[in-house]
């Protein structure tokens, strides 16, 4: 990839990728590191990009893999893998303004199983389309929609129980 193309890719997608990684890590410094590594890998390995997805989806897939690799590396070193990745739901989105409700929602999100937790966070915090989410998981857009809807229902039910 030439320098001009790399710069355009970086300028076009840096903030979107950074926002996505923030939803995964919850830590600004770690998100910045993973985002930088994502672009480094994308630029240095652009020859392996098959063009089957758009650039943003490709970058998010790289970022997700880097995040998972980092958590595995930390697990081998004895660090805990955080389970409290953020997610939400339509009525919950409005409730995030209330700090107490926000904490309750994040506690519920902490208990959600995968892939519900990640699909929900990608949709709400990462602001990805269902097509992009499906692509990241290697699934269909319909699968992403159904998984997101089920996550919303689980969150709503657990909120009502609390």
Is pLDDT of 95 > 80?
no
Same fold, 3-76 and 90-161: no
Each residue's pLDDT tens digit, 19-35: 888 888 888 888 889 98
Indicate the pTM of the whole model.
0.49
Q: Answer yes or no: is pLDDT of 85 > 60.
A: no
* 13 touches 53 (CB < 8 A): no
For the domain made up of 90-161, the CATH class stated in words is mainly alpha
The CA distance from 37 to 29, in Å, is: 12
Chain centroid, CA 133 distance in Å: 9
Average pLDDT, the chain: 77
pLDDT attached to residue 60 = 86
Q: Where are the domains of the chain?
A: 3-76, 90-161
Asked whether the beta carbons of 57 and 138 are under 8 A apart, the reply is: no
Summarize the confidence of residues 92-106 as an average pLDDT: 59
Contacts of 133-137 spanning 24+ positions with Cβ under 8 A = 135/53, 135/57, 135/61, 136/57, 136/60, 136/61, 136/64
Q: How far apart are CA 130 and CA 103, in angstroms?
A: 26
CATH topology of domain 3-76: Rna Polymerase Sigma Factor; Chain: A (1.10.1740)
Question: Tell me: the pLDDT tens digits for 28-71?
Answer: 888 889 988 888 888 887 655 555 567 888 888 888 888 888 88
In tens, the pLDDT along 128-147 reads: 888 888 888 999 988 988 99
């Amino acid at each position: 990839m030439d320098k001009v193309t790399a710069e355009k890719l970086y300028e076009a997608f840096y903030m979107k990728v950074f926002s996505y990684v923030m939803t995964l890590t919850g830590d600004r410094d770690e998100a910045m590191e993973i985002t930088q590594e994502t672009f480094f890998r994308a630029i240095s390995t652009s020859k392996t990009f098959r063009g089957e997805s758009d650039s943003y989806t490709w970058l998010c897939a790289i970022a997700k893999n880097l995040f998972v690799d980092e958590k595995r590396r930390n697990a081998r070193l004895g660090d805990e893998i955080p389970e409290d990745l953020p997610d939400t739901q339509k009525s919950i989105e409005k409730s995030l303004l209330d700090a107490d409700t926000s904490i309750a929602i994040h506690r519920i999100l902490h208990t959600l199983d995968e892939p519900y937790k990640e699909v929900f966070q990608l949709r709400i915090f990462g602001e990805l389309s269902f097509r992009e989410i499906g692509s990241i998981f290697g699934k269909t857009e319909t699968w992403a929609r159904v998984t997101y809807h089920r996550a919303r229902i689980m969150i709503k039910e657990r909120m009502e129980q609390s």
